[in-house]
Amino acid sequence: MKVSVILGTRPEIIKLSPVILELERSGLEYFILHSGQHYSYNMDRVFFKQLGLPEARYNLDVNSGSHGLQTGRMLIGIEKVLKKELPDVVIVQGDTNTTLAGALSAVKLQIPTGHVEAGLRSYDRSMPEEINRRLVDHCSDMLFAPTEKARQILLGEGIPEDRIYVTGNTIVDALYRNLELAENRREIMDRLGLKKRRFLLVTVHRQENVDNKKRFSGILRGLALVYERFGYPIIYPVHPRAAKRMREFNLKPEGLILIDPLDYLDFLLLEKNARLILTDSGGVQEEACILQVPCVTLRYNTERPETLEVKSNILAGADPESIVEKAEIMLERKCNWPNPFGDGKAGERIVKILIERFGR
């Protein structure tokens, strides 16, 4: 069996790291195909280094652009590589343009495709991610659903049962593997002058939040009100999309400590030590839940309903008053919920399923 792992963005690198390391450990033949969707050092290379991942055999250097341009370039580049390498199976993860281009290129060449983190739905068709994940789920041959709920969603959409495997979410594997390393660090806490449970952590980067001036400024206003009301320092590592829009819209956030995106270990450490996390990120909602840190989601919906059910998370949307109100609720919440995302062995399970199906 020869496996092609296709990735391109920060969360794909992190969430595919357990699968890649398990392929490596099992001595299987595989290669990484990087679309180049993320390319800044702190959105890409730093994660390869820190997670101990081998170099990508190919990097298409697609970089940024409109959805059509970016996805189109990826389709052209990925098809070329797959035709040359002829893998037996392609693995993609999540819901980005890279995920869509990877899966579409592979299935058109009739290469069996596995989708890691299948079956998530926000039911919000204005999000590019919702379109990507639906299309990828429906064209893939193997659907690695993180939870039973995700499996039920796929079954409900008419996907045959024998294509779906409940594996847990690979984010748990990545987090368990790296938490101790993160906890041995302190430089970032010292540099920012932070004390355990005495600060809040924010990330905001979703297209529907930051590309809309009114909505982005509403969120920033809400965060400023949270600072005024509760007085905890608020750390915001700013994603490059958000940084670009902040400049373009001339927004001047108040009450926030803005920093560059962090590497995985520093970010995990801040998550673990935060009193509260406010975010519109998918992965960060999950990590907060796993780490027993309360989370306020700066969106009107989530494709991670498990976090709402166990009460680790609450939806605040983008309205300033609602953000403060939901922050107050979550600051008072008792943090003793179960982790709904699995036992940290999702990577192992996925590779075992591949071996069972394609041999070694």
Tell me if 16 sits within 8 A of 283, measured CB to CB. no
Which residues neighbour 266 within 8 Å (Cβ) at sequence distance 6 or greater? 182, 185, 187, 188
- Cα separation of 11 and 125, whole Å? 21
| In the complex, minimum distance from the CB of residue 283 to ligand UDP, in angstroms, rounded to a whole number | 3
Work out whether 18 is an interface residue with ligand UDP (CB under 6 A).
Answer: no
Question: Considering only CA atoms, which of 157, 71, 164 is closest in space to residue 121?
Answer: 157
Which residues neighbour 137 within 8 Å (Cβ) at sequence distance 6 or greater? 115, 118, 119, 143, 154, 157, 159
Work out whether 11 is an interface residue with ligand UDP (CB under 6 A).
Answer: yes
10 HSE (CA, 13 A, CB side): 18
Stretch that binds ligand UDP, among 54-62, 138-146, 156-164, 261-269 (CB under 6 A): 261-269
Tell me if 302 sits within 8 A of 122, measured CB to CB. yes
Work out whether 64 is an interface residue with ligand UD1 (CB under 6 A).
Answer: yes
**Residue 261 interacting entry, from ligand UD1, ligand UDP, none, C-beta within 5 to 8 Å by type:** ligand UDP
**Residue 233 interacting entry, from ligand UDP, ligand UD1, none, C-beta within 5 to 8 Å by type:** none
Q: Which listed residue (34, 38, 115, 205) is catalytic?
A: 205
Which residues neighbour 254 within 8 Å (Cβ) at sequence distance 6 or greater? 220, 224, 227
Dihedral (CA of 345, 44, 91, 304) sign: positive
Tell me if 285 sits within 8 A of 308, measured CB to CB. no
For ligand UD1, the binding residues in 168-227 under the rule CB under 6 A are: 205
| In the complex, minimum distance from the CB of residue 222 to ligand UD1, in angstroms, rounded to a whole number | 20
Work out whether 34 is an interface residue with ligand UDP (CB under 6 A).
Answer: no
- Cα separation of 140 and 117, whole Å? 12
Question: Considering only CA atoms, which of 137, 139, 168 is closest in space to residue 154?
Answer: 137
Tell me if 100 sits within 8 A of 67, measured CB to CB. no
**Residue 39 interacting entry, from ligand UD1, ligand UDP, none, C-beta within 5 to 8 Å by type:** ligand UD1
Q: Would you tell me how many other CB atoms lie within 10 Å of the CB of residue 350?
A: 24
| In the complex, minimum distance from the CB of residue 55 to ligand UD1, in angstroms, rounded to a whole number | 17
For ligand UD1, the binding residues in 119-148 under the rule CB under 6 A are: 128-129
- Cα separation of 119 and 147, whole Å? 9
Work out whether 26 is an interface residue with ligand UD1 (CB under 6 A).
Answer: no
- Cα separation of 276 and 278, whole Å? 7
The DSSP 8-state label assigned to residue 42 in this structure reads G
**Residue 237 interacting entry, from ligand UDP, ligand UD1, none, C-beta within 5 to 8 Å by type:** ligand UDP
For ligand UDP, the binding residues in 267-296 under the rule CB under 6 A are: 267, 281-284, 287
Which one, 206 or 349, has the nearer CB to ligand UD1? 206
Which one, 13 or 225, has the nearer CB to ligand UDP? 13
| In the complex, minimum distance from the CB of residue 281 to ligand UDP, in angstroms, rounded to a whole number | 3
Task: Using DSSP bridges, classify how beta strands 29-34 and 58-59 pair: parallel, antiparallel or unpaired.
Answer: parallel
Work out whether 264 is an interface residue with ligand UDP (CB under 6 A).
Answer: yes
User: Measuring CA to CA, how many Å separate 20 from each of 13, 74, 134, 258?
Assistant: 9, 21, 24, 33
Q: How many residues bind ligand UDP (CB under 6 A)?
A: 14
Work out whether 341 is an interface residue with ligand UD1 (CB under 6 A).
Answer: no
**Residue 267 interacting entry, from ligand UDP, ligand UD1, none, C-beta within 5 to 8 Å by type:** ligand UDP
For ligand UDP, the binding residues in 231-250 under the rule CB under 6 A are: 237
Work out whether 40 is an interface residue with ligand UD1 (CB under 6 A).
Answer: yes
Residue 205 designated active-site? yes
Instruction: Enter the tokens of residue 120.
Output: 């998530």
Judged by the rule CB under 6 A, the positions of this chain that interact with ligand UDP are: 10-11, 14, 203, 237, 261-262, 264, 267, 281-284, 287
Judged by the rule CB under 6 A, the positions of this chain that interact with ligand UD1 are: 9-11, 37-40, 43-44, 64, 95-97, 128-129, 205, 239-241, 244
